[in-house]
Structure 1
Amino acid sequence: MLGSWGLTDSSEARYAEIGKEMYMSKDYINPTLLGIKHLHKPPVTYYLTALGYQLFGVNEFAARFFMQVALIFQLFFVFKITLLLYKNEKLAFTATLIYFSLPIAIIAVRTLTTDAYLTTFILASIYFWLQYKQQQKTYLLYLFYLFLGLIFETKGPVGFIVPLTFIITYKIIYKDKIETTIHQFLGFILFLIVAASWYVLAIKNNEGLLDYFFNNQLVERVTKNKFNRAKPFYYYLLLIPVLGLPWVFYLFLYFKKNIKTIIQEKKTDFILIVTFLVFLLILSLSTSKLILYIFPTYFIIAIFSAKNLSHCSAKNIQLFSKIYLFLIGLITCSIVVLAFLNLNLGFEIHKIYALIILVISISFSITISKKIANTNYLKPTYLGVVFIISVILSANYLFKDNELKINSVKPLAKFIQENSQTKPKVIVYSSIIPALPFYLNQKIITIKHHTPTTQRETQFETSNAYKEHLIDYFTDEGKERVSNMNLDEPTYLVVRKRDTIPTSVQLFINKFKHKKVLGKHLVYY
């Protein structure tokens, strides 16, 4: 299932290709993308991706495998954290089921990014800290510091916001004194070793990297629209409900009924609210915003939704169950209808798979409806799991049959391979397409022009070897290289349809005899 659709551009393909280049080169200090050092982020995601390739070979399944493992650990930690906070196994199990059925949780582990791993380490750090507070076993303290270090090696200091806000608020609310024991000191040393290991080696090997980390990757990422990710302040306020449907509405209902008590009592619920709001505020103030940045706080939404559900009347539980039954029927029946009706929607749906999904989903829904009483507040959560599994199955087959529609260039790479008897020269104009070298298993040439993504960080390169595969079209030398390029050997030029082509580049394009339209790309050959 994980390998049934191609890598999507640009984030997933970028992480997959960097992991592949690391796996092939065995250089675990200097991650590279298309042969050029890519030191934007710490390397844990690349390490796990490379390990996936070591176990399963270089393919999509291997690239995505450890994210599914991460989800399993997330579910474990959500259960344990809820249990430690509220001492109620049924509530903890409910929160776990809700967490699994959140759309954002599935989105995060079906596309390769750092966010699934970061969230896992954040949950682990909170869990081991809470467990240590209750049991006072020193190995739990060391595990807490270990995962803090892994957070830093996954996404840098931004990952500390959630666990540190949680811990600081907890200590203030419960008047918990700061410990100054030898184990706290040694644990902090462990954190420093884990957190700083790669940074120290990378800075040692790359002059000027420390300044680059601080100014380019920390300060400018927060204060400037350096990566074209600027969104309005209220971006996450609009996004959170969508990615938490329909459970987020239970959260609102819980707050409506209990907010005054929560503020007055200032206990566990209050700690979770402060943690959520602090993280939300910091993300909202930052100029760099992406959908999955907010993911580490969704365990809080799951917990509050479970608490609301546990206090619902039988009438409301029955209502929530009917809502999920409706949603399950809607998505599965819609897939079947679209599969059998030729509506020319621009994508394909396999008829047999659509029927299988319908039968499985409806069968489980009917079984749950009959076996679990309407008064049991677990009933809507089981139906929520059936709903999200229906979405996953439907998405898998939609993605598989419509790769170009989901921004995957796998069909483009396949076209080049099938039309080339020998290894061709592949050129990409004014964009970075990491999935092409991943699938073609060869280096490609990038023409740097106009698009910000082609402005590579080359200041850490120790030789000019990278210039063989990166043509700077802003220079006279680059323009000359393009104009005089030998097209006697098989050559493919990939251009995005939306790009405005200058006259000088158009002259080069006119030398090609054939053109193929593949999704949003034009392939000249």
Structure 2
Amino acid sequence: MLCGISQGGLTESSEARYAEIGREMALSNDFLHPRMLGIGHYHKPPVTYAITALGYKLFGYNEFGARFFLAVALIIQLLLVYKMGKLWFDDRKTGIYAALIYFTFPIALASVLNLTTDAFLNTFILSSIYCFLYAKLKKNTSFLYLGYVLLGIAFLVKGPVAFLPVALFMICYKIINKEPVKPSKHTVLGIVLLLLISASWFIAIVLEKPNLLDHFIEDQIIKRSVDASQFKRSKPLWYYLVFAPLLCLPWTVPFVYVLIAKRNHLKFTLQLKVLGFTCLAILVVFSLFSSKLIFYILPLYPLLALFFAGIYRQLLEKEKGYFILTYKVGFGILTGMAIALLCIPAFEYKIWLSILALAVIGSYFYWWNFKANASKSTRLFGLSTGATCILLLLYFSFAPQNELLMRSFKPQFSFIKEQRKDLKEYKVIVYDYRLPSAEFYLGDRIITVSNTNYESLRDTRFEKDSSWTRSYIDLRNPKNYPKFEALLKDPNNIIITKDRRPIPDSLDHLTKKFKVEEFGDWRVHY
């Protein structure tokens, strides 16, 4: 994992945004005020940016530094899932099964291959749940306080949404175990500690800039939850109910099989009931919000892995059909993915590497099926874990060859560097789009020009001075046209445009002298 995370350039827009804000934070050593392209960016608390900045401090300003702690987050999550399964089910094998199942979930791997808040949020939420469970089962108050501290940090990763999965888990736990709601003094003190940690950054920033309070409440909480259309994230009510099960294949298929055909063979313990009802509650509650992205429900999947592991531990060695069905579905998915990738003409891949990968996969499956002297569970998890590792290696090889298809603009930035390698002074004008990766790869020579595209608009209400005007031009103000026109007249400058938003016709004559290099839908004028 660590060897491959530097493969492929930063992708637009989310990953590049987090990477660039972290880079500017590391360069300025200002961990209180997140900034992107020289302008304050207060959409989320600063923990993800700070973690990314630490990666740069350790490994330099590159893709590896940006993504390093994502790999660490996955390792911590796997360890927590194992520890939680071992603790709660009082069975080491259940913990191992849960960790291996979670590792093979596509959504778990996708969350750590692309820099966003989601992997870090999931890590802190899962850590908090584990601490609360440990405190409950082992009567350890120090873990109770640690759970509240970790939940407070989770809040500083992404805001109030961090509370929901933990609260739903605790509610389901108490209802199913028929525990009365009687907060102890430790619980009250823990909640006070949680609120202090959660509010710390917001208090500090609002005391400095009071007008940010309305921004946090109205724009970042209410509008994101209720008016998702503003952020282009509105999805129908059924969105999670349909797509959530698909992201934990092949394990969902045998579970449905058990519910239909073998339900009498399964004992729904208290642990399985708590996990099952918590997963259902998370799906229902998050489905009620109009704003939906698939990574929003990422905290569901460690609990699902534990749920599936508890079922597998009961049935895997007893039910031959359970093993065969899981194996067939998994093998079918792998085969379908391989055929689909080979049949999509837009993808580029090395034929020798593809043949080698198929040979490795075939040999691996042959050994586990016909040569390995192992139990059903060992064979199944050996196959699934090995197949996942091979897919990861293929992804790390595939990503650098298809950067434009994956919305990474590193190739065009490399082209710009090559064209201007003998020049120290030039500007790169990004017209009517916001490309944080441009500054990551090209430095502070980027000027964003906003015209009609909402994605290129910047919120400058909270800027104390006018230094941001050096890197941002808003053409909605006619007074800024002369500045934009002067940039176009300089032959040393470079312009980046997209097909759907070309330079205005009134200024088109200024770009006639430029050559044009095409990168998919994008154009580099030089």
TM-score (norm 2): 0.92
1:518 Cα offset (Å): 1.0
- 1:238 partner letter: V
Distance 1:153 1:173 in 2: 30
Per-residue deviation, residues 217-238 of structure 1 (Å, max 9, x unmatched): 0001011122111111111122
**Shift of residue 353 of structure 1?**
3.0
Match of 1:30 in 2: 33
Larger displacement relative to structure 2 (168-177 or 59-68):
168-177
**Corresponding residue of 2:312:** 309
**Using the alignment, how far apart are the partners of 1:290 and 1:70 within structure 2?**
20
Task: Please state how far the C-alpha of 1:60 moved relative to its aligned partner.
Answer: 0.5
C-alpha contact 1:77 1:123 (8 A) present in aligned 2 = yes
Task: Confirm or deny that 1:523 pairs with 2:524.
Answer: yes
Q: Structure 2: how far apart are the matches of 1:334 and 1:429?
A: 35
- Which residue number in structure 1 is paired with residue 511 of structure 2? 509
C-alpha offsets along residues 37-95 of structure 1, whole Å, 9 cap, x if unaligned? 00000111101100100110011011111111111111111122222332222222112
| Distance (whole Å) between structure 1 residues aligned to residue 234 and residue 357 of structure 2 | 39
Distance of aligned partners of 1:137 and 1:316 in 2 relative to their CA distance in 1, 3 Å threshold? closer
> What is the alpha-carbon distance in structure 2 between the residues aligned to residue 176 and residue 344 of structure 1?
55
SS of equivalent to 1:484:
helix
Q: Equivalent residue for 1:492?
A: 494
Q: 1:195 and 1:258 mapped to 2: Cα distance? A: 46
User: Alignment partner of 2:231: what SS?
Assistant: coil
Runs of 5+ consecutive residues of structure 1 not aligned to the other structure: none
Counterpart residue type for residue 358 of structure 1? L
1:353-368 mapped onto 2 (5 Å cutoff): 353-368=353-368
What is the rounded CA distance, in whole Å, between the counterparts of 1:46 and 1:259 in structure 2?
47
1:333-368 CA-to-partner distances (Å, cap 9, x unmatched) read 877xx4xxxx89133212343344334333333333
- Equivalent position amino acid for 2:282 in 1: F
Structure 1 residue identity aligned to 2:402: N
Matches within 5 A, 1:212-291: 212-224=215-227, 225-256=229-260, 267-291=270-294
* Distance (whole Å) between structure 1 residues aligned to residue 243 and residue 519 of structure 2: 31
Q: Deviations over 1:307-349 (max 9, x none)?
A: 44331412431343344445556656877xx4xxxx8913321
Aligned equivalents of 1:516 and 1:492: distance in 2? Answer: 11
Structure 2 unaligned segments of length 5 or more: list them: none
**Aligned amino acid, residue 138 of structure 1:** T
**CA, structure 1 residues 97+458, in 2 after alignment: closer, same or farther (shift >3 Å)?**
same
Paired amino acid for 2:525: Y
1:46 aligns with 2:49: yes
2:99 aligned residue:
96
Deviation at 1:277, TM superposition (A): 2.3
Structure 1 window deviating more from structure 2 (495-504 vs 323-332): it is 323-332
Structure 2 partner of 1:480: 482
Partner of 1:453: 455
The percentage of counterpart residues that share the same residue type is 36
Q: In the alignment, is the contact (CA less than 8 A) between 1:314 and 1:375 conserved in 2?
A: no
Match of 2:444 in 1: 442
Q: Does 1:345 align with 2:345?
A: yes
What is the TM-score when the length of structure 1 is the normalising length?
0.92
SS at 1:377's partner residue? helix
- Cα distance in 1 for partners of 2:248, 2:448 equals 39
Matched letter for residue 321 of structure 1? Y
Q: C-alpha root-mean-square deviation of aligned residues, in Å?
A: 2.5
- Deviation (angstroms), 1:426: 0.4
- 1:396-449 Cα shifts (integer Å, max 9, x gaps): 111111111111010111010000021321001111101111011224111111
**Alpha-carbon separation, structure 2, partners of 1:100 and 1:278:** 23
Pick closer, same or farther for the CA change 1:440–1:485 going to 2, 3 Å.
closer
CA distance 1:259–1:209, change in 2 (3 Å): farther
1:205 aligns with 2:208: yes
> What are the superposed Cα offsets for residues 371-395 of structure 1, whole Å, 9 maximum, x if unpaired?
6557523422221112222221222
* Alpha-carbon offset, residue 122 of structure 1: 1.0
Given candidates 162, 178, 186, the residue that maps to 1:183 is 186
Q: Are 1:167 and 2:170 matched, yes or no?
A: yes
AA of the residue aligned to 2:522: H
Range 174-183 or range 426-435, more displaced: 174-183
2:119 corresponds in structure 1 to 116
Alignment of 1:375-394 (within 5 A): 376-394=376-394
**Contact 1:16/1:112, CA 8 A, preserved across alignment:** yes
Contact 1:251–1:301 (CA under 8 A) maintained in structure 2: no
Please say which of residues 350-359 and 37-46 is displaced more in the overlay: 350-359
Return closer, same or farther for 1:251/1:213 CA change in 2, 3 Å cut-off.
farther
Distance 1:268 1:516, change over 3 A: same
Q: For 2:225 and 2:148, how far apart are their aligned partners in 1?
A: 26
Q: Determine the C-alpha separation between the residues in 2 that align with 1:504 and 1:359.
A: 58
Change (3 A) 1:24 1:489: farther
